[in-house]
A and B are shown apart, each in its own frame.
Chain A
């Protein structure tokens, strides 16, 4: 049996987390290859349905990353993101989905290390959870 290799999609805001991921690259930090980053302008732009869609299609984990509270390029988009993700996690529980598959993190443009370690941790956690069986039809 080959080892389970999770597939994770990440929504990174243009102004902080995407740049944090860039910095991880510029610093040549190694992290697992399981993640695919999508750029959005702000974490507040992430529709809850994006997260659900990704899970429905079989993503093993979804990471939403934005600027630290107080630092959002658009003042307060990340606060809205936080409210929405928290609500979504509750909804996921009622639907019988494991909320651990969704993570919200604040990663600034200078936190390349944090980006890399977040990915590492998340991948480890998802490995423990095993594959998202929703993707299997």
Chain B
């Protein structure tokens, strides 16, 4: 290290919060004896104006180049002290807070001696660490003021419109020849029964006429480079490949309906239908007469292989059963289910269906319904648990409620975007509760059924929320990267790729490097950690087999010095054994 440490230690009484339980004057005396400390003082409240002034003054008077405040938890006042230190011309990372309140005085309120000793130890450890602290720079990354939305379904269109309405350019990349996604196949929407085509046309109209939105249909993503603020996305369309520069990316690729081939007599033709196929018949009016219909729920979901609940199928079946009952009041319509999930306000729709005369019959997982198809004639056998016997139906149509399933292309897209898929194959958000539309990778957001089966309302909600999250960096025009990041020493890196394989932010990547050593030159792999993406957790560093990665501000020497200081004075150990 270039400069000799000149550390100032400020011990806070915090009124009586610390001063009442720790002998502060003796702690200050002790601090003065520590190597590297050139100044120590105590303050009634270091965080008050006079405390902060004292720090700034001491930095000038004693030419301090490191500062320690021993007071409360860094979570409260570290930013305040950092900025005071910065005001006095020091790099704010040459500051350390030692917690002698929450971790000391407040938990040892009746043992002044022990608390005082502990405060001394903690300060000694803090001094050892602080002597080795180095300045850190906070970097700002500029953000290209535009967005790219993958998927032109309802979620993607909502997100695109919302971002564009905030004044940013948006590119929508849609793999099909037209936008609309799942809406294109739907008949009436629940609740309320509006025609899906009307909703879709309204959205598509708005998107197409928006001066800030450009739509690329029949286009797929081929490559994604860059990071938040500065992505370059290569898009392949029928005609020409195109490179789009964008600040953020929204994934709104939706999902597919599961086609239950070989289940319950489904073959893709005939009168065993999926919900979407039923919607199509209702939409084009090809269903002219109906005496009896059977719905079977949870076909291909909530079981082995595909264990999740697709959430929306109960509501869809209820919606469609109501519609059938309203169109054909005499028809016998039954929903065979293994527990109806009409969550939230949809309970009302469920009641209405019951009142209309739709039958809800429970089957058990162990004895699911049996379907036999013999030409035009179809039979459904249901073992009724309560009656303890079988019931037989001879419906005109059988509707299978199958789950939404992830697109097969999700895997490729997730690799290009460097974002994860969950175990069911849907895209995985950063945190299931707290960050539902973010990815762990900055600058990429998620909405709609790409994440998990969602109905129209939920897709619109999520589209808005992804847009508002995405607008933060766009509005700011920059992102502040973490100052505390990890760095690779290329001379030590052995190119194993461990860091790149475990980094949840994909900040570490392996690059080919040509190494020239005297006469020979050869190509090898070296890790690079992008400071714009690194969050500074240090997990890669702790696992690097070559010790090539340093987590800044928590370096190996800094921590080792602290550990050593923990055990000094060494005499302590002997005393203890001798006693």
A residues lining the B interface (CB < 8 Å): 1-2, 4-5, 7, 9, 18-19, 21-26, 28-31, 33, 36-42, 44-50, 53-54, 57-59, 73-77, 80-81, 84, 116, 131, 135-136
Contact = CB atoms under 8 A, between A and B. Distances in A.
A36 B125 contact: yes
Given A31-B107, A59-B567, A41 B538 contact: yes
A38 to B, nearest CB: 6
B185 to A, nearest CB: 36
A41 B566 contact: no
Interface in B497-556: 502, 504-505, 535-539, 541-543, 551, 554, 556
Given A47-B556, A57-B564, A33 B542 contact: no
Contacts of A58: 567, 573
Give 9 nearest A-B pairs by CB, closest first.
A25-B102, A44-B539, A45-B538, A74-B537, A75-B504, A25-B106, A42-B537, A33-B114, A22-B102
Given A30-B108, A40-B559, 6 more contacts: A19-B73, A30-B107, A41-B484, A47-B542, A57-B566, A80-B539
Given A42-B537, A44-B538, A75-B504, A22 B573 contact: no
A73 B103 contact: no
Contacts of B554: 40-41, 45
Interface in B555-579: 556, 559-560, 562-564, 566-567, 572-574, 576-577, 579
Place the interface of chain B in its size category.
Answer: 35 or more
A48 B542 contact: yes
A41 B537 contact: yes
Given A4-B576, A80-B502, A45 B542 contact: yes
Nearest to B536: A41
Interface stretch (B115-123, B450-458, B468-476): B115-123
A9 B566 contact: yes
A57 B211 CA distance: 68
A85 B8 CA distance: 36
B194 interface: no
A22 B73 contact: yes
Q: Which of B99, B117, B440, B505 has the most A CB atoms < 10 Å from its CB?
A: B99
Contacts of A5: 576
Interface string B101-138: 11110111111001101100110010000000000000
Contacts of A81: 539, 542
A74 B101 contact: no
A76 to B, nearest CB: 6
A57 B74 contact: no
The B interface is mostly helix, strand or loop, or mixed, namely helix
Contact of B504 (A19, A50, A76): A76
A33 B112 CA distance: 11
Contacts of A31: 107
Contacts of A28: 106-107, 109
B75 A22 contact: yes
B430 interface: yes
A24 B101 CA distance: 11
Contacts of B541: 45, 47
Contacts of B75: 18-19, 22
Q: Which of A37, A75, A136 has the most B CB atoms < 10 Å from its CB?
A: A75
Contacts of A50: 559-560, 563
A38 B114 contact: no
Contacts of B109: 28, 30
B102 A33 contact: no
A77 B107 contact: no
A108 B569 CA distance: 33
Nearest to B544: A47
B562 A38 contact: yes
A21 B542 contact: no
B573 A116 contact: no
Contacts of A75: 430, 440, 504
A4 B572 CA distance: 12
Given A26-B102, A26-B106, A77-B537, A46 B567 contact: no
